[in-house]
């Protein structure tokens, strides 16, 4: 198995900066590539950069990122030791006055952009990927999935070389919860899933990726 290479990842990130594979680049400030060390056991993946990420050129630095940082701290996970990225690298948005409203990427945009995420996966080689939100979970599974059906267990994503991972809610969904009780419950769920992911990443040896862990559940893209 090749060694993780920061140099190769930096090269891919440079290539991604010039990406015009789908029209999303036209309306965005810049490509927002993932960040973090290669070879770390845990990768967190979201949907796409938001307004602040688009301006800063870094993933999860806006309101959802602040929520994620808080949850990571409560889960006892150091963000510096995690690779953080998105399946889509450009901010899809619709200008509305002075604001830019987030628009969900469609299947084509996710599929076309996945060339970058797949390379991040191959070069970072995490033991566990925590897919945050349905866009990330579906991109990894290669088909539309329901978070509630997969949540709480280590799954094997069929289409990504058997990549193991877990799914959880997107941190921004906490901000959209209708009331304080809902926000608290959603936040507690995210922290719990982060802890699960951290534990699984520390426990499962990289060499056992293709093995059959007792907790594993296959999410077949051919189902
Ligand atoms: N939402 C995401 O999915 N990713 C980010 O980087 C920011 C918000």
Q: pLDDT per residue over 70-90, tens digit each?
A: 999 999 999 999 999 999 999
- Residues having CB within 6 Å of any atom of ligand 1: 46-50, 53, 59-60, 62, 64-65, 86, 172
Q: In which domain, by residue range, is 197 found? A: 6-219
CA 88 to centroid of ligand 1, rounded, Å: 9
* N- to C-terminal Cα separation, the chain: 29
State the pLDDT at residue 204. Answer: 87
Distance 91 CA to ligand 1 centre (A): 9
Nearest Cα to 167, choosing from 195, 136, 131? 131
Supply the pLDDT for residue 162: 82
Q: Which of 35, 46, 105 to mutate to test ligand 1, by most ligand atoms within 8 A of the CB atom?
A: 46
Distance 176 CA to ligand 1 centre (A): 14
- Find the 54 Cα to ligand 1 centroid distance in Å: 10
Q: Which atom of ligand 1 is nearest to the CA of 58?
A: 6
Block residue for tokens 């789908």: 22
CA 101 to chain centre: 21
Beta carbons of 198 and 73 less than 8 angstroms apart: no
CATH number (domain holding residue 143): 3.40.470.10
Residue 155 in any domain: the answer is yes
- The SS3 call for residue 217 is strand
Atom of ligand 1 nearest to the CA of 47: 3
**Ligand 1 probe mutation, 52, 56, 64, 67, most atoms within 8 A of CB:** 64
Alpha-carbon distance of 47 to 59, in angstroms, equals: 10
Asked whether the beta carbons of 75 and 188 are under 8 A apart, the reply is no
Mean pLDDT value across the chain = 91
What pLDDT sits at residue 160?
56
Nearest to 165 by CA among 186, 187, 145: 145
Per the structure, how many domains does the chain have?
Answer: 1
Beta strand pairing call for 99-102 and 83-86: unpaired
In a domain, 69, yes or no: yes
The parts of the chain modelled with pLDDT lower than 70 are: 1-4, 159-160, 207-223
The interaxial angle of helices 63-74 and 180-203, nearest 10 deg, is 60
At 222 the pLDDT is: 36
Residue 1 falls inside a structural domain = no
Considering the domain boundaries, does residue 46 fall inside one? yes
Pairing assessment for the beta strands 217-219 and 155-157 based on DSSP bridges: parallel
Candidate from 62, 100, 135 with most ligand 1 atoms within 8 A of CB, to mutate: 62
Query: What does the alpha-carbon distance between residue 175 and residue 184 come to, in Å, rounded to a whole number?
Result: 10
The answer to the question of residue 177 being in a domain is: yes
At 93 the three-state DSSP class reads: strand
User: Whole-model pTM?
Assistant: 0.91
| Virtual torsion, Cα 143, 53, 80, 11, nearest 10 deg | 80
Inside any domain, residue 91:
yes
> How much distance in Å is there from the Cα of 71 to the middle of ligand 1?
15
* 166 occurs within a structural domain: yes
The verdict on residue 82 lying in a domain is yes
Predicted pLDDT at 1: 55
Is residue 128 a contact partner of residue 205, using CB atoms and an 8 Å limit? Answer: no
Q: Which helix (H) or strand (E) holds 70?
A: helix 63-74
């Amino acid at each position: 198995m090749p060694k993780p290479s920061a140099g190769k990842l930096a090269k891919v990130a440079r290539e991604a900066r010039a990406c015009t594979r789908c029209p999303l680049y036209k309306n965005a400030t810049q490509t927002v590539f993932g960040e973090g060390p290669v070879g770390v056991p845990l990768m967190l993946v979201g949907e796409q950069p938001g307004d602040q990420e688009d301006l800063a050129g870094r993933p999860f630095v806006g309101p959802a990122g602040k929520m994620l940082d808080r949850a990571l701290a409560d889960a006892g996970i150091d963000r510096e030791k995690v690779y953080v990225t998105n399946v889509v690298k450009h901010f899809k948005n619709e200008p509305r006055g002075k604001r830019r409203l987030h628009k969900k990427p469609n299947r084509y945009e996710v599929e076309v952009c996945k060339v970058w995420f797949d390379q991040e996966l191959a070069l970072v080689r995490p033991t566990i990927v925590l897919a945050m939100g349905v866009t990330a979970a579906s991109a990894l599974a290669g088909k539309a999935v329901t978070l509630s059906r997969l949540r709480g267990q280590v799954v094997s994503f069929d289409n990504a070389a058997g990549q193991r991972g877990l799914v959880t809610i997107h941190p921004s969904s906490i901000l959209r919860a209708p009331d304080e009780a809902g926000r608290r419950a959603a936040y507690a769920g995210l922290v719990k899933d982060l802890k699960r992911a951290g534990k699984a990443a520390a426990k499962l040896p990289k060499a056992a990726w293709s093995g059959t862990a007792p907790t594993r559940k296959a999410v077949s893209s051919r189902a």
